[in-house]
Chains A and B, each alone.
Chain A
């Protein structure tokens, strides 16, 4: 574990590559939106967005070059976000499972 490591300076090329990847993924999002995939519309869009967020966190936010404790902190934020979505969706996804009772 290198808590006191020198600040890492990534080569410009890395940033340009990341930028290009983000652009490609954005175009992909727009392109996919032209097709109706039914329930997978959201799944695909969110997956692409997650990959983009991951790249940003790793490279632009320098987590890739940071100490383990920074990894842990970033991962905690990410996991907590997923926790929030998952349990909220546990509500929204199962609301229709019970039939609405007939009025008396």
Chain B
């Protein structure tokens, strides 16, 4: 390859055929394919949300029956959680960036990576099938007996979709763990890894340890229905609460599958736009692992009012408080990083700052919910709906779009209109808060979730919420438009438009198929923004590279 060709040939323009995408083993192309797939599900889940938010503007039935309403919020939950949030950052940004951040050519198992996209897409199609054939009305949690004895919708198809797409998660998680252990560039010790990598390492551990349990749970539901073995049905000698145990054993850690990669993204952005090393790098890295492990000990906080033993409830309540510690460590360390930094409020930074504030509200209201007595009052109200949307949308979706903007020039090789980006970030922030803050209030006042007919005094808050949803939708559409514009007509990006540290910025935008023009050697730690940081070489950052 001549010097000139090396400069212009990249992973995007190396081949153009459809087959070259469908049979690619390039982690970057697979990341882009994942992006297109999950954005489709994000759109579907968003449409469902817009529809039921319109219905909720009036206290009486406006244009949909309860049946339809149930199916819409279930569709929203299932698509957003299983087919958008869980794969969002790991399968898109993680897939694209992890090998580059490690200075590797690809993931450890490139074919497994491609297989994961096919398996995910197949699972997604099954889920889509369940929607097309009439939808599911159990809520995304599939509680028995709604989903078993009294199921009257396409539960089996939807559950099968989740079962199948779980394997895609496991493949990705396994791939990441092996890659991080085995494929770091010379000089890239564990404590020189970007926090994005640490976050994905922790996430992968949760995926590999947790996802099999949801698969087994779904299988057990099937076994009960087909062979009449008593597992969840009391008439056969089973216990419906056992389903909740098994479901939340996966689904609470799944919250951390969704949020930890977001925390990784935010760490990268904060460091870059403060021009500083992340304060307390080691403890921020370790807090990811702490969250991953502690996250498995708390699932019973979803079951305080489901006839779970009060003693078990007490244990789960205390353990749930513990998870707040590593989460707070991260928030405090980000704020300490901002302190004294040369802060630039570019688009990715606006999303990252939004994340810190909104995640903090989401996390703190989680403590309210982990308190048993308060939980009884707000259980299954809009308070909890607001809480988890502050974590999932205010946290994870903000981080995802922050990361998408931050690495957009790297992924596409194009710049996006910065001013429009900032305005959109602010519109989304305002729209988000207008949508979900009133839900804290209406929930505290006693409005239960999953009903579309409600007492008149709640209408004002619901109208505010729907108005906010419209603003939020406008923000997302605006983003879609300018990113599409940037993709086609945007100016070319240099290899490092943000002047960021990190291996991914040392290679051209978009990167060549083999990621680097020559294999990188790492000589300093991840956030070398100042002279002092570049030549910091304390005892911990030395040591062997493989282990």
Contacts and interface: CB of A to CB of B under 8 A. Distances in A.
Contacts of A92: 239, 309
B241 A77 contact: no
Contact of A80 (B209, B300, B307): B209
Contact of A84 (B249, B303, B316): B249
Interface string A62-80: 0000000100000011001
B309 A91 contact: yes
B312 A87 contact: yes
B242 A95 contact: no
Contacts, number: 49
B505 interface: no
A88 B239 CA distance: 12
Interface in A49-104: 69, 76-77, 80, 83-84, 87-88, 90-95, 97-98
A91 B312 contact: yes
Contacts of B213: 84
B408 interface: no
From B296, B309, B315, residue with most partner A Cβ within 10 Å: B309
Interface in B270-323: 296-297, 299-300, 303, 307-312, 315-316
A42 to B, nearest CB: 14
Contacts of A69: 181
Interface in B132-155: none
Contacts of B239: 92
B315 A90 contact: yes
A104 to B, nearest CB: 18
B209 A87 contact: no
Contact of A87 (B241, B297, B547): B297
B524 interface: no
B245 interface: yes
Contact of B300 (A83, A87, A93, A95): A87
Given A77-B209, A80-B296, A83-B296, A88 B309 contact: no
B302 to A, nearest CB: 12
B296 A90 contact: no
Interface string B32-65: 0000000000000000000000000000000000
Contacts of B209: 76-77, 80
A30 to B, nearest CB: 19
Given A69-B181, A77-B209, A94 B312 contact: yes
B311 A90 contact: yes
From A1, A95, A97, residue with most partner B Cβ within 10 Å: A95
A88 B242 contact: yes
Interface in B244-270: 245-246, 249
Given A83-B297, A91-B300, A98 B310 contact: yes
Contacts of B315: 87, 90
A1 B546 CA distance: 12
Given A77-B209, A84-B213, A91 B296 contact: no
Contacts of B249: 84, 88
Contacts of B297: 83, 87
A32 B300 CA distance: 34
A95 B311 CA distance: 8
Nearest to B299: A87
A87 B242 CA distance: 12
Given A77-B209, A80-B209, A84-B213, A90 B181 contact: no
Going nearest first, the 4 A-B pairs with the smallest beta carbon separation are: A91-B312, A94-B311, A94-B309, A95-B309
19 contacts: A76-B205, A80-B296, A83-B297, A84-B213, A84-B246, A84-B249, A87-B245, A88-B245, A90-B309, A91-B241, A91-B303, A91-B309, A91-B312, A92-B309, A94-B310, A94-B311, A94-B312, A95-B307, A97-B311
Interface of A: 1, 69, 76-77, 80, 83-84, 87-88, 90-95, 97-98
Given A87-B245, A94-B312, 19 more contacts: A77-B209, A84-B213, A84-B246, A84-B249, A87-B297, A87-B300, A87-B312, A88-B246, A88-B249, A90-B309, A90-B311, A90-B312, A91-B245, A91-B300, A93-B309, A94-B309, A94-B311, A97-B309, A98-B309
